[in-house]
Chain A
């Protein structure tokens, strides 16, 4: 039945297996976080003791605040600069150095983080900047500008330009047109750019490890140093909380999108 839009048994099987593969490990992780037993192989009944222990771990809570601060600031900077970059890519036409500009915007999307992190650190050392909170923030902003730019640019190219032209034909000055017509149209994309930048920053281990300094430990750095020594139930609980936070954010965002009547431009990674 190739003619109708419909799924063959093979299609249904691949999609279900693929989704199971993607979600089972996460479901298992969440399940283990409620396991009363310290051993993974033993199910000791339901318990929230790991969450209680986590709440008493002040170093972990400090790391959580540092991480949130960095994520918030870097996502803010990345959203501003990335939106500018998107406008430049979509609207500035041909300008001198456009090739280099485009290259610098797209390269971080695929550049191995080990290279980005190492080179940023060497820059900070050469400039004799104190390493810590601010250097991680700059590092994360640099990484996430590209993601914001790609998402917002897709939206700018997507909407109907005649709206802008109509405003200007009616004598609205360009800057005002931008603020009152263009900006509201691309606002949902800017918002999801911010959320993506925020979660990427929350998540990043490699760039943070390179650009961190004394006193600035982020959650991924803490988690990484703990899990190198093996599985810990407290970490299962922490990961569950992080997953829940991100899931709630995503659901809220897709509801906003649904209300604003836009189809999901998920990550801008569409070819």
Chain B
């Protein structure tokens, strides 16, 4: 600790704690309290479009009136309306299946890169993360070119005479899965590769020398070592996919919405801010366990670095 011997270093460290603390408390934490509050309000045709509005100038009576007017009606509404319940199920289903697919595709990919010659690894690693830097929106859009009715995929399949008539690819669940796997692949490959890369090769040699079959070596040596990266990859994909908006909106059908789309519609089309807030709170509660797990993992990684 540089500040232990030199007291005047303290202000720098203190500043380093206080500035981000205040910023994140104001713009990340405080908004959740407001969302929570509005989720107990009711919609009104006014600006802002919800009520009650807390009037601090009215003193104690104002506070009483404010709290008396809050109600859990929105949550009851959500629980009994099939549209909301089904969009939560849909989101969890899509996130589960696509995370499984990501693992099936991402693990062999990361494994392949980790086994490549050292001088190639940097380039291959770069190639995996490069798409991460190019726009998410553009990458989803790129698939519309391919999947639409008169798009490339149908054109190729027709010219090869595999299909007689153009198939419908866009606005289907298939398109959503393709889009998600495509967009999130770097998030799965990176953490898995990071753990595999650090793996001690001599362990594999030892196992082979002792006559252990390859599948068994993989199961007994590689897998336990890679587990941490796999869990990180699963969390990095699963959590944001549950709340995904852009991909199902552009590539999916409008019949069954994912929860991100439902929040978006409630907010922008129906202008029902309280219901949108209640949906956001429920989504947050669903994701709180994976989010905290992810944070714990990151924190332990930092402690290890000390």
Please report B residues at the A interface, Cβ cutoff 8 Å: 1-3, 5-6, 8-9, 12-13, 15-17, 19-21, 23-25, 27-32, 34-35, 38, 48, 105, 108-109, 111-113, 115-118, 122, 124-139, 141-146, 148, 150-152, 154-155, 182, 185-187, 189-191, 194-195, 201, 204-205, 208, 214, 217, 228-229, 231-233, 235-236, 239-240, 242-246, 249-250, 260, 263-264, 267-268, 273, 276-277, 280, 283-284, 287, 290-292, 294-295, 297-299, 301-302, 305-306
Contacts and interface: CB of A to CB of B under 8 A. Distances in A.
A95 B287 CA distance: 27
A11 B6 contact: no
A92 B142 contact: no
A15 B189 CA distance: 11
Nearest to A153: B302
Contacts of A112: 239-240, 242-245, 260, 283, 287
Contact of A29 (B38, B118, B138, B291): B138
A211 B1 CA distance: 41
- Which among A7, A18, A88 has the greatest number of chain B C-beta atoms within 10 A? A18
Contacts of B232: 271
A155 to B, nearest CB: 11
Given A18-B109, A110-B235, 15 more contacts: A3-B204, A84-B15, A84-B17, A85-B24, A90-B302, A93-B1, A104-B28, A110-B239, A112-B240, A119-B31, A142-B23, A178-B2, A203-B134, A205-B137, A254-B126
B301 A114 contact: no
Interface in A231-271: 231, 235-236, 239, 242-243, 246-247, 249-250, 254, 263-264, 266-267, 269-271
A271 B201 contact: no
A196 interface: yes
State the main secondary structure of chain A at its contact with B: helix
Contact of B28 (A28, A142, A230, A254): A142
B295 A103 contact: yes
B214 A84 contact: no
B2 A177 contact: yes
B38 A122 contact: yes
B250 A101 contact: no
B73 to A, nearest CB: 18
Given A14-B109, A104-B29, A108-B28, A40 B122 contact: no
A48 interface: no
Nearest to A196: B133
28 contacts: A2-B204, A2-B214, A6-B117, A7-B115, A14-B112, A18-B189, A19-B127, A21-B185, A22-B127, A25-B143, A85-B24, A88-B13, A88-B20, A101-B20, A110-B294, A112-B242, A119-B32, A123-B27, A123-B30, A145-B20, A173-B6, A174-B8, A203-B137, A205-B136, A228-B249, A242-B138, A243-B134, A270-B191
